[in-house]
Amino acid sequence: MNNPLVSVGIPFFNCKDFLLDAIRSIFAQTYTNWELILVDDGSTDGSLEIALSIDDPRTRVLPPDGKNKQLPTRLNQIIQAARGEFLVRMDADDLSHPERLAKQLEFLNNHKEVDVVGANMCILDEQNNPACKSDTQGKHDKIVNKYRGFSFAHATVMTRTEWSRKWQYDEKAIRAEDVELWSRSYKDSVFANIQDILYFYRGVFSISLSNYARANRTVARYNWRYLAPEIGRLKAAYYVYRCYLKTGIFASAKLLNLHQILIRRRYSRLTPQECAELIAVLDVIRKTEVPIRDIK
């Protein structure tokens, strides 16, 4: 496809069990003028073979280099390769709601001042059933909180590709590339969130302590870099301390096997009707066919 309006980028690393379903969720979209860009980050489990097996002109796999360069580097590759006017990202173990592209595209077309739009997401449990949901703020001044962070779910965003090329990822900000990006760009950007659930997020309940700790250390570093000049070193130090405190609380909860309770408190409950509707949506995605060629 030479002129897709929307570019969807999925970087992947050892996601053999989930990658095809993530791709399937893009083929399930009601909006069809898209291209899908797949980028391997040095997988060793057969994920690359799955990506290469997709037989559709809208899908392309960027030339693999066999290296594990981490997410920010791969996201920048996608930004440079994108042909569409709008750019969507998602994680390789998650799912996009079939209405995601249509609704986010409509929002950006109707709100020319907005650069980045996110959405609410459904959190899936370890059996891939709807467990809870995020509850994001809708407008820029509610999303941006210099002291508590940004109420954006990174994998849910659609951006204007021009904006993403201006504000590329800091490739050193591993596991906090989103926080660093929002902190660096928010003064010269307009953010928004759609209140609809347009994303299914896996892996929350199985997050490792080491990954959680690393993310908080990186967030602390960028809190210090961006907050200290604005609110003073003493106040900034408090928010840096909070990052390490969160790691300590999570570690204690993990030790006592209470971490799932802690995680659920971060999100909102689903109503029975919402749960039924989301189960039906998941069924639609799972029944969507993906054209696959044989790889020999």
pLDDT tens digits for 199-217?
Answer: 999 977 667 788 878 888 8
Task: Report residues of the chain scoring pLDDT below 70.
Answer: 1, 146-148, 205-206, 295-296
For domain 6-205+271-286, give the fold.
Answer: Spore Coat Polysaccharide Biosynthesis Protein SpsA; Chain A (3.90.550)
Task: Compute how many other C-beta atoms are within 10 angstroms of the C-beta atom of residue 249.
Answer: 12
Output the pLDDT for position 102. 98
Q: Say if residues 100 and 8 touch (Cβ distance below 8 Å).
A: no
Output the pLDDT for position 184. 92
Output the pLDDT for position 234. 87
Each residue's pLDDT tens digit, 115-140: 999 999 999 998 899 999 998 888 88
Output the pLDDT for position 214. 82
Tokens of 258: 């209470």
The CA distances from residue 267 to 20, 104, 123, 270, in Å, are: 27, 22, 8, 9
Start-to-end CA distance of the chain, whole Å, equals: 25
120 three-state secondary structure = strand
Question: Of 115, 255, 238, which is closest to residue 186 (Cα–Cα)?
Answer: 115
Phi/psi for 82 (5° steps) reads: -65, 135
Give me the numbers of helices (H) and strands (E) for the chain, helices first please: 11, 11
Output the pLDDT for position 148. 66
